[in-house]
Amino acid sequence: MNIKHSTKKIIYMIIIMIIITVSLIRYYNLNRSFKVKDAFEKEIYTMNSIVETDENKCNDFEIHPGLTFEITNSEIYEFNKFQEKYNINEIPLDNRCKILEVSLRITNITDLINSIRLNFFEVVGTDWYATLDYNLTYSINEFFYENCREDNLTLALNSKSSFEVKMIYILDKARFSENKFKNLYDEKMYFELTILPVNKLIEFR
């Protein structure tokens, strides 16, 4: 018996089992997340609706009273088109991803300075989600350099002021079926504003 060959075969089988296990864990966690959110009341708004969080918590588990949110536009780019538009070369992108740009207008309707962390806002689909890409979002929003904490994208808004932020999400091919990735332009997408007790979603595609 070829011991060397048997050892390679065992190692190969172990690697396959690890890959399968990791995939199953990711699938379970993703579906568990959607099931948990499905347990809460949903409110779905359309693009250009002005939405308040009310007393509902965002993904950072904080309440943000006195702020309104409006999705004004969205674009999906091939990675090279995005790089050309914003002249971004230092951040590596490749054809395994598409770039989603969501234009979000945030308004402080109070008489006080207000702030919010942008890191936690996610985009969700029927069976997938995407988290904010910190580096790309910071790179293309020049006003961040003076109005936002670089370490966690905390945006400060003066009384009765607004900012329009281009939120960037990487749509990785690994998260989608081949057919769905090819047809992302037709995919329904939602900006998840709050999660509980009311799950507020803004449909923008």
189 token code pair: 């997408």
> What local confidence, expressed as pLDDT, does residue 32 receive?
41
Q: Residue 59 to residues 83, 91, 118, 121, 167: CA-CA distances in angstroms?
A: 29, 26, 10, 7, 16
Number of H helices, E strands in the chain: 5, 12
pLDDT in tens, the chain (205 residues): 555 556 666 666 666 666 555 444 444 444 444 444 566 799 999 999 999 999 999 988 888 999 999 999 999 999 889 999 998 877 767 778 999 999 999 999 999 999 888 989 999 998 899 999 988 998 898 877 766 655 668 888 899 999 999 999 999 988 888 889 989 999 999 999 999 999 999 999 8
Report which DSSP code applies to 175.
G
Evaluate the CA torsion angle 191, 194, 195, 198 in order and state its sign: negative
Report if pTM > 0.85: no
> What local confidence, expressed as pLDDT, does residue 96 receive?
81
> Which residue is associated with the tokens 């948990």?
36
> What local confidence, expressed as pLDDT, does residue 10 receive?
67
Q: Residue 34 to residues 41, 53, 112, 143, 160: CA-CA distances in angstroms?
A: 13, 20, 36, 34, 35
> What local confidence, expressed as pLDDT, does residue 74 receive?
97
